[in-house]
Each structure stands twice: as structure tokens, then as C-alpha cells.
Amino acid sequence: MTSDTQDQMDAEGEPRLRRSIGTTQLALYALGSMVGSGIYGLIGKTAGQAGSAVWLSFLVALFAALLTSLSYASLGSRYPRAGGAAYVTERAFGIPVLSFTIGLALVASGLTSVATQSKIFAAILADITGLEALPPTVIAVGFLLILGGIVFRGIRESMWINVVCTLMEVSGLLLVIASGLSYWGTVDYFETPADRADTAFAVIVLQASVLAFFAFIGFEDAINVAEECKNPARTIPAGLIIATLAAAVLYVAVAITSVSVVPWQALAEAPSPLTEVMKRSAPSVPSGLMTFIALFSVANTALVNYVTASRLIYGMSDQGLLPKGLGRVHTIRRTPHIAIAALLAVLLLLVVSGSIADLAAATVLLLLIVFIAVNAALVVLKRRPGEAPGQFEVPLFLPIAGMAVCAALLLTRLSSLEWRAPALAGLILLASVGLFAALRSARPDPQ
């Protein structure tokens, strides 16, 4: 048997995932997930809270996100496994129900993101092409079927589509920055809302940074394709750090440009903030260009989350947390085809069943819980005697600080939501525990 054949098969002769992702592709994978789900929609809402100081809120959010991103980078260097957070929490705490719940929370987050993006994609596509007569659900279902086909086709194909979409997203942001660069320096970049004059400047910036933090969510997706990375011990840390810092530079520059071109009050009210910026700074540019770019952004976010969720299920199956069949890899395509098909069935059900807004809000809470668990896992593993270090290590205080920041963000987020989203998050956790118990009881005794 050749070394190439051995690389394609596991110890039992079953096909393995294909290693084809380099540092640049991984960085674009993480960056595409962050940019797609963040700045295009959050810049207006964040400006409404921080005023012209919105750029400073993104800098504070970078600090908060970088703490957990560095923890993920260190863990990816130590344990390049597809299970990601589920694997490291199992290794750290040895509590299968905790690992199962963490993994399922991430799968739920990915599912709701893909379902939400499919509906947004349908609405944008109908607006661009004039297909208003076609029900949005039909367009969303068609989008999901195509997406499922791409993810099944292979990681190389998924990554190249991701590269194209991410470059489109970044080009849109660079266009915004370039068109409004001449406006820089024309406003007071420390102006805050007048109705918050009694609130300290630092508090206003910090409160807005809670919202800005969610523009960085997406870095956690990178670790779940670890088994498809070339030299993952180096690729994962480098890709994560490059993606997080690149997103920060883009976000701060876009924030400064936006409030320079459009008064922050108008920016907060605009249904599409960056489109409004382009209308004022570059009126000769077709108004539909940003909408067209948004289509790529939405599709990219859905693609990344679909790939991530399928690899999570694959990894959890490999750990014995989910049925073995869900971890099967297609002999030719080298993708977890059973997991991909199972996810597609759930996604179609979510899209056809109706609104998922509360579910999306609930899974954001679950993500913060996952971040706390991952930081805690790194603390435990770093302190454990005999645990082999990775090629990228961080000081112990970083994951501890990451835990504290994520806990503060979770409490702040809880206080700003109605009861439905937190209750739904609690139900998802309880359902995960129930499903774990059911799977364990159905498993035959090893006699």
C-alpha cells in the first residue's frame, strides 16, 4: 500500500477526509464567515449605540474576540480534529454529556445560520431578478439543494467557492473604504448619542462593543476543518490569526468611513447602511452593486456553516458521541455524505416550517456558552501534567481572560433579550441532554 493510499484510509480501511486546505484558504474560510455574518448588517446598529465612536467599539470587540480566537488557535495546534470544541471539552473534562451538548449547540448554531441565510438569499435574489411571483420558500429550498450538492461534491470545490465569495465580500468593503476615504477627518470620531450624555464615554463604547463582537463570530469554524488542512498544527493558528486581524482592519476602516460619509444618526436608521454610504460617496456606482455583493456574502456564510456543521457531526461520530454511520466518508468524494444528507433534511424542515428568528437569537447565546467551555478546556489542558503542547501556545491568562469576557458578554446579551430566546436556548440544552441519554440507552452493551 502506498503512502498516498494510506493517507486516504483509516486503520480499518475506511476512507478519510481529504487534506487539501492551506493557510491562505483557511484564512479566507474564517474571514468569509466573519465578514458575511457581521459588518454588512451590524455597522448601523452599532453606530446607533456608540455614535461616531463606533470604530472604537470595533477595536474593543477585536480584543474580546482575539482572546477566544487565540484559544482556538492554540487548541487547533494541539488537537487538529474535526470535532473541534466537542473533542477538546471531552479531552479536558472527560464528561461525554458535556461534549455532546457543546457539539450539538454548535451544530444547532450552524443549522439556524444556514436556514436564515437561505431565506435572506431568496429575498435578495427575488429582488435582483424580479422573481417576486415565485414563493421565497421555493427559492430557499432550491438554494439549499444546490448548497448541499456543493458540500457533498468535495472540500476543494467548497473552498474555491468560498475563496471567490470571500474576495467578493472583501472587495465590497474595500470599495466602501476607497469611495469614502476623502471624507476621513471631517467629523468628530468621539461623538456619542446626545440622549446618553449622562453615561460615561467608556461605558457607551463598551456596551456597543458587545454588539460589535458578533461581527467577529465565525473564527470558530476554522478548527472544524482541521482534518482537511495540510500541516494543521501550523495552518490553523496562522489562518485564524490572519483572518481575525484582517477582519478587524476592515471593520475599523469601514466604521470610520461610514460615519464620515453618513451621519451616524442616519446610518443607524438605514435599512442597508453600506448601500447608503455608497449612494452618498460614489453616486455614479450602480446602487444594486452592494446588493449583488450581499448575495455572495449570504451564500458564503451559508456554505461555511454547512461545511462546519457536517464536520462537527463527522467528528462527534468519530468520538462515539453520535451513531457511527453519521461519520461515514464517501469513497470517491471524500466528504461525510451521511452527515451532509441528514443536515439537508433538517434544513429543509426548518425553512419550510416558518420563522427561525428566535432560534437564531438562542444559538448566539449557545455560542457564547461554547466559547466559555473552550477557554476553560484550554486552561485545564495547559495545567495538566504530561499534556503535549502544540506548535502555537498562549499564556495561561489569555484563556482565563477569554472566559471572563465571554461570560460578561453572555450576561449582557441575556439582559437585552426577551424571554423567548433564552428559554429556547435552555430547551436546546435540555433536549441535547435528553438525546444523549436516549442514544446511550439504545447502544448495545459491549459484551
pLDDT in tens, 69-123: 999 999 999 999 988 899 999 999 999 999 999 999 999 988 988 988 898 888 8
Q: What is the mean pLDDT of residues 153-173?
A: 94
Chain-centroid distance, C-alpha 153? 22
Query: Rounded distance, CA 110 to CA 304, Å?
Result: 9
Q: How many domains does the chain have?
A: 1
pLDDT, residue 37, reads 56
> Residue 372 above 90 pLDDT?
yes
pLDDT, residue 167, reads 94
> Residue 417 above 60 pLDDT?
yes
pLDDT, residue 124, reads 85
Task: Classify residue 10: in a domain, yes or no.
Answer: no
Task: Classify residue 88: in a domain, yes or no.
Answer: yes
DSSP state string for 109-125: HHHHHHHHHHHHHHHHH
Q: What is the mean pLDDT of residues 127-156?
A: 89
Mean pLDDT over all residues of the chain?
Answer: 89
pLDDT, residue 5, reads 39
Query: Rounded distance, CA 9 to CA 329, Å?
Result: 10
> Residue 322 above 60 pLDDT?
yes
pLDDT in tens, 78-92: 999 988 899 999 999
C-alpha cell at 335: 466528504
pLDDT category at 2 given cuts 50, 70, 90 is: very low
Query: Rounded distance, CA 406 to CA 373, Å?
Result: 10
Return the SS3 of 436: helix
> Residue 416 above 80 pLDDT?
no
pLDDT in tens, 337-349: 999 999 999 999 9
Task: Classify residue 11: in a domain, yes or no.
Answer: no
> Residue 331 above 50 pLDDT?
yes
Query: Rounded distance, CA 172 to CA 58, Å?
Result: 19
HSE-up of residue 134 (Cα within 13 Å, Cβ side): 16
pLDDT, residue 10, reads 58
Q: What is the mean pLDDT of residues 375-402?
A: 95
Give percent of the chain with pLDDT exceeding 90: 62
Query: Rounded distance, CA 230 to CA 235, Å?
Result: 7
Query: Rounded distance, CA 371 to CA 223, Å?
Result: 13
> Residue 447 above 50 pLDDT?
no
> Residue 334 above 80 pLDDT?
yes
pLDDT, residue 36, reads 67
Q: What is the mean pLDDT of residues 283-293?
A: 86
> Residue 358 above 50 pLDDT?
yes
Query: Rounded distance, CA 111 to CA 279, Å?
Result: 34
> Residue 355 above 70 pLDDT?
no
> Do 32 and 165 contact (CB within 8 A), yes or no?
yes
pLDDT, residue 4, reads 40
Domain that holds residue 27: 16-440
Return the SS3 of 15: strand
Query: Rounded distance, CA 1 to CA 20, Å?
Result: 21
C-alpha dist (Å) from residue 198 to 194, 204, 205? 9, 10, 14
Give percent of the chain with pLDDT exceeding 70: 94
Nearest partner of 382 among 91, 35, 124, judged by Cα? 91
Task: Classify residue 198: in a domain, yes or no.
Answer: yes
State the alpha helices, DSSP H only, in 181-231. Answer: 201-213
C-alpha cell at 174: 474595500
pLDDT category at 445 given cuts 50, 70, 90 is: low
Query: Rounded distance, CA 400 to CA 429, Å?
Result: 24
Task: Classify residue 372: in a domain, yes or no.
Answer: yes
pLDDT category at 134 given cuts 50, 70, 90 is: confident
pLDDT in tens, 17-69: 889 999 999 999 999 988 865 687 788 889 999 999 999 999 999 999 999 99
Between helix 288-319 and helix 337-353 the angle, nearest 10°, is 130
> Residue 252 above 60 pLDDT?
yes
Task: Classify residue 2: in a domain, yes or no.
Answer: no
pLDDT category at 412 given cuts 50, 70, 90 is: confident
- Lowest pLDDT segment from 176-185, 353-362, 432-441: 353-362
> Residue 330 above 90 pLDDT?
yes
pLDDT, residue 356, reads 67
Task: Classify residue 412: in a domain, yes or no.
Answer: yes
Residue 83 per-residue DSSP state: T
Amino acid at 179: S
CATH number at residue 162: 1.20.1740.10
pLDDT, residue 394, reads 95
Task: Classify residue 445: in a domain, yes or no.
Answer: no
